[in-house]
Structures are given as structure tokens and as C-alpha cells.
Amino acid sequence: MTAQQILKQYFGYDSFRNGQAELISHILQGQDVFGIMPTGAGKSLCYQVPAMMLPGMTVVVSPLISLMQDQVSALRANGIPAAFLNSMLSTEEYKSVLRQVYRGEIRILYAAPERLETSVFQKIAGQVPIAMLTVDEVHCVSQWGHDFRPSYLKIITFLKQIPRRPVLSVFTATATKEVADDVQKILHLHQPFCLTTGFNRENLYFSVQHPRDKFQALLDFLHQHPEQTGIIYCISRKLVEQVTEDLNHAGFPAVRYHARLTDEERRNNQNLFIYGHVRLIVATNAFGMGIDKSDVNFVIHYNMPKNLENYYQEAGRAGRDGSPAECILFYDSSDMRVNQYFIDNAGEESGLSPDIREQLREKELQRLRRIQQYCTGNSCLRHDLLSYFGDTAPSYCGNCSFCRTHCESREITLETQKIISCIYHLHERNLHFDARSLVQILRGSRAKKYQEYHFDQSLSTYGIMREVPENECLEMIQFLLSAGLLAEKEQILHLNRNAALFLKQKKTLFMPVRKIQLSAELRSSGIEEALFRRLVQCREQIARKEHLPPYIVFTDMTLRDMCQKRPVSDMAFLTVSGVGRVKLEKYGDAFMNVIRSYNTGKPENRKD
């Protein structure tokens, strides 16, 4: 059977997701692979499909018993002979699995890394052909990873003892470049095919909130989403207990999950959640790895996790079916102190020298400071997350709390055409400039260094954007760089293939801009929000009708001056900063009608 046929027959899918087919193809060619794919991207299929085709058994190293059980149950339900070896099996069950392994009846065998060094596994490795060794959550092998586990180092010893080295396929959802390089070095991957499918999950809405009362904020959210399923992560077992108790008391049935519970209660509570008998589970970070529940509508972090790797992995358990889902993080400064306490008082890692332990501690503190920046920053949350993992992302996503609160989308198609055209004509003359110099040319600067080129006589794009403020021109250029429509080398701007395609395909382009925020400064200047908003609406209507960016009609500064002067005559309107005769004739009546209407409602504030 082909990989496509196995995908359809055993898993019921008609096509592979992004990256799956490439990884499977390289595995089948006998090449090591390293897949970095976000939670929900389908990592498991990348080794489960080829495991059905390779001549021998596949061993999957997995860190959690619950993960093994879920995976094996799902595989068996699909008709795939799979099993696991762990402490949950009775003696008879354990022997039964071994008999199946020796008879060649098991295609995929799951085991914890500690089990690789047992005499039983050594015997299996000597008698049963192992075609592939898969390492899930492979970031655990790196000392510089966010979840280093010394037991993962046993994989290296096991590989040295196998009579014939198998294909290695290793996967993780989150890994910085430093960790990825470390993994390849530690496991001695042989010229691996490395694939990062990208970390972006467009269906996830990210939000950071700073509530004074976290539990009340949680209740408010649950009241607004009464039928939804979610995970609530807490920083400690004590807090899990408290939040679970309070939720049940408030009429929101929830179960708890942390390491101090008995195996039976953890298993029962997990199943109640997995099978939809309760919609809410409150847990420490002990819950979730490998849990394949696709209909989680939200993940709320009641506290800030200790690093962005943990946060993105845990938040990524929402919306695994591709449906819109929310990832909300409640932050306050005490989270920083609690996490630092845990880091400072972490137990000694087996086999690590004091120097290495101190290096690991400092690395964890660096990660802690980095996630605090995420929680307190002033930019697009998705951009911040993806940039941390080395993924490119625009500065505006439109689907996070920062973008929805502080930004709006503005069309800059015409301005982009002008910027690209100006660079093109300059390059024709073998002239190259940085962003700030290009802005001066676009705005028709009379500086001596530009006059020497006689741009005013020979360059058609000279001064073509003189009505656009300098800072807005620079913001546009920075946006075009982040969007990949321009390139920059040693601060010099260059055109690329994307710029040519943009002009050829006549695409429409939008840029994020900060929403108008009526600050205390404006209010202290005598500007009333209601009038300001009405003027903004008037400007937007005109801009849409004329297919112009709103600021081309009038800048915010001009609207503020209008609010202060409230002109209702032509002479008065001309006194407004930024209003000339042409704009008076084009827009004066519309804006003065708004002011007259407003003044009629508040005659005591009238000013002519």
C-alpha cells in the first residue's frame, strides 16, 4: 500500500496536511527527519503512516503514560497493531505484549525513555528488527530546552547497542534554533531532513489580561461562554484545588488534575474531560501532553507560565480541529515571583554538575523574563510569539487582544505602489538609499544632497507623498519590510520578487495602524470624545468614497484642532491646522455640518 492509501484506509483522511507527506517520504527513503510542528499539526501521522510500511517494528519514545495510552488506543481503534510497555500493565498484560512483539505482530511499540535501558528492551533490540526509532517531544533531550529530562539521554545509549541503527524520526511542537541544533548534535542525526511547518495557528485568538480579581475574570468569561469546553492551567497544585472547588461552588462543574492525585483519579478525571462528561478541567502543567482532544474551545492560563515554550504548547491545545478558539493569559506581578521561586528551588537533576545546574537555572530565568515581556509588551502578541520561535510574522495579526484593542486596518495600496515605483526609478539610475532618505525623496525634501540629483526635474516620484507625514511614511516602509514586499541589506532598501508580483497582480494591501485613543492629554486640551468620534466617522466615510487612506483627508492632529476651534464658517475653517483652500472646498461643508449638528445638541459649547 502507498502512504496515501494507508492514510485513507486506516486514518480516514483524503490528503496530508502541510509537511506530512514530505517527512513521510524522507523516512521511507531511509533518511533521518526532524519535524518541528505546532500542536495540532499532525506530527503523529508523520511516523505512524511510514511505520505501517517499513520492514520492521517502530519504537516510539514517549514521555508520558497518558500519551502512550491515548495513542495506542487510537491506533488500535483504526486497526493498527500497536502496544505500549509501562508500569500500568499487569504482569500478564506485559507478557502478552512481549509475545506479540517477538512474533512480529506489533508494528508500533511505545515506551518511556527509562525503559530503553532495561534487560527486556535490550533483548527485544537484539531479536526484533527495529526499522525506526521515533522520539516525541524531542526538545526534552536538550539541556537548553524548556523541559529537559535526563532520562532522554538514555536514547543515545540505546542507539549504540542496537545491532543495526534504525531510521530516526524526531518531533517537537516548540524548539528555538539553539535547541534544534542541540538535538541534532546530541542524537547524532545523519544529515536529517529538517522541516518546520511554521508555528502560526491562525484560528487561535491570543489575549493577555491583567485582572484585579482573577477568579471573577474567569467567572465573567465562563458566563459569556456557557457551553464551551476549556482547560484552566494553574501554577500550583494548591491553586488547582482552590479554583476547582470555587468553580463547582459557583455552578460550573469542573474536575482537577495534578501530580499529587492518585493514578486512578487522574485517569478518571482525564476521561471525564476527554469524553465530554465535564466541560472544564483545572490542571497544572502535568496535564495535556499528548492529549488529543480536538474540541477544546479555550485555554486559560490562570497564571503566567515559566516560559514561552510551555505557554505556546499548552495554549495550542485549544482549537486542534481548526475551529476558532481562545488562548487567554491572566497576568499579575506575583506570577513572576512564584515562578522565580520554583526555578531557584528546583531539585538537583541527576547526573548534572553544579556548574551545569547553575547554567540551566540562569537559562530558565532568561526565559522567565522573556515571557514577562510578552505579558507586559506593547505590540502584536502573535508577532511576539512567532518571532521568539524564529518564525516570520507581520506586526499586525488582527486576532489578538493587542491588535483588536489598539490597532485597525488601513488600506495602503496606492502608497505601496508609489514607494515601490520610487525605489525602482532610483535603481534605474544606480541610486540606492536607506528608508529615511527614501521618505525625504517621496516627500520632496529640498535638502541640498537631493537637489544635486535634480530630482525635481527628472524623477516622477519625487514629492509624490508630500502630504503624508514623515513618521507615517516610515511606518509604511517598515511594514512593507515585515510583509516581505521590500528587502533591506545594510540599511539600504531593495526590491524583490514579491514587490514585482504585487504590482503585476494588482493586489490590495492593508496595514495595521494604532486606533485613535482619546488620551487624558486630549481631554485636558478641551477635546470632547463624542465630537472627535463624529469627525473620525465623517473622515472614514469620505475616505471610503474616494478610495483614500483616512489620514490623506485629514490627519488626527487636524481633527483635534477642529474639536478645539469648532469652525462653522469658511474663514474659521481655514484657521484649522492642516486645512488649505483646496481641502476647504472639497471637505469643508461635510465637516462643518458635523460640527453644527454637534453644537446644536450642546449650544453652550458653541464657538464660531
Q: Is-contact 302 181, C-beta < 8 A?
A: no
Of residues 557 and 257, the one with the higher pLDDT is 257
Burial annotation 49-78 (CB, 10 A radius, 16+ → b, else e): bbbbbbebbbbbbbbbbbbbbbbbeebeee
Of residues 525 and 462, the one with the higher pLDDT is 462
* pLDDT class of 349 with cuts at 50, 70, 90: low
* Residue 522 confidence (pLDDT) above 70: no
> What Rg, from alpha-carbon coordinates, does the chain have?
30
Q: Which residues on neighbouring strands pair with residue 491, listed in sequence order?
A: none
Q: Which long-range contacts (CB under 8 A, 24 or more apart) does 432-440 make?
A: 432/492, 432/493, 432/494, 433/492, 433/493, 434/491, 434/492, 434/493, 435/474, 435/477, 435/478, 435/488, 435/491, 435/493, 436/474, 438/477, 438/493, 439/470, 439/473, 439/474, 439/477
Q: What is the model's pLDDT at position 27?
A: 97
- The pair phi, psi for residue 172, each rounded to 5°, is -155, 160
Mean pLDDT in residue range 205-221:
95
CA distance readout (Å), 44 to 49, 60, 173, 191: 9, 10, 11, 22
Mean pLDDT in residue range 114-130:
89
* Residue 138 confidence (pLDDT) above 50: yes
Calpha distance 290→288 (Å, rounded) = 6
* pLDDT class of 375 with cuts at 50, 70, 90: very high
Query: What is the signed CA dihedral for 195, 383, 511, 590, rounded to 10 degrees?
Result: 150
* pLDDT class of 410 with cuts at 50, 70, 90: confident
**Nearest of 295, 255, 300 to residue 278 by alpha carbon:** 255
Tell me the pLDDT of the chain averaged across its residues.
87
Task: Kindly report which listed range (192-196, 253-257, 392-396, 521-525) carries the lowest average pLDDT score.
Answer: 521-525
Q: What is the model's pLDDT at position 146?
A: 60
Mean pLDDT in residue range 556-576:
88
Of residues 550 and 438, the one with the higher pLDDT is 438
Mean pLDDT in residue range 274-281:
89
Q: Which domains does the chain have, with CATH numbers?
A: 3-196 (3.40.50.300), 204-398 (3.40.50.300), 412-514 (1.10.10.10), 520-605 (1.10.150.80)
* pLDDT class of 46 with cuts at 50, 70, 90: very high
* Residue 540 confidence (pLDDT) above 50: yes
* Residue 168 confidence (pLDDT) above 80: yes
CA distance readout (Å), 534 to 543, 591, 599: 14, 9, 12
Out of 196-210, 517-531, 540-554, give the one with best mean pLDDT: 196-210
Calpha distance 201→382 (Å, rounded) = 9
- In sequence order, which residues have a C-beta less than 8 Å from that of residue 267 and are 6 or more positions away? 66
% of the chain surpassing 70 pLDDT: 92
DSSP annotation string for 329-361: EE--HHHHHHHHHHHHTPPPPTT--HHHHHHHH
Q: What is the model's pLDDT at position 494?
A: 93
Q: Whole-model pTM above 0.85?
A: no
What region does 110 belong to: left with phi over 0, alpha with psi -120 to 50, or beta?
Answer: beta
Mean pLDDT in residue range 199-209:
91
Of residues 549 and 163, the one with the higher pLDDT is 163
Maximum Cα interatomic distance, the chain, rounded to a whole number of Å: 97
Each residue of 480-495: pLDDT tens digit? 987 789 998 888 999 9
Give the three cell numbers for residue 566. 469648532
Of residues 39 and 494, the one with the higher pLDDT is 494
Structural element, H or E, at residue 319:
none
Task: Kindly report which listed range (59-73, 137-151, 330-344) carries the lowest average pLDDT score.
Answer: 137-151
Q: What is the model's pLDDT at position 307?
A: 92
CA distance readout (Å), 188 to 47, 178, 192, 402: 19, 16, 10, 42
Calpha distance 367→363 (Å, rounded) = 6
HSE (CB half, 13 Å, CA atoms) of 329?
A: 30
* pLDDT class of 606 with cuts at 50, 70, 90: very low
* pLDDT class of 515 with cuts at 50, 70, 90: low
* Residue 442 confidence (pLDDT) above 90: yes
Each residue of 169-197: pLDDT tens digit? 999 887 778 888 989 999 999 999 999 88
Gap between the terminal Cα atoms of the chain = 84
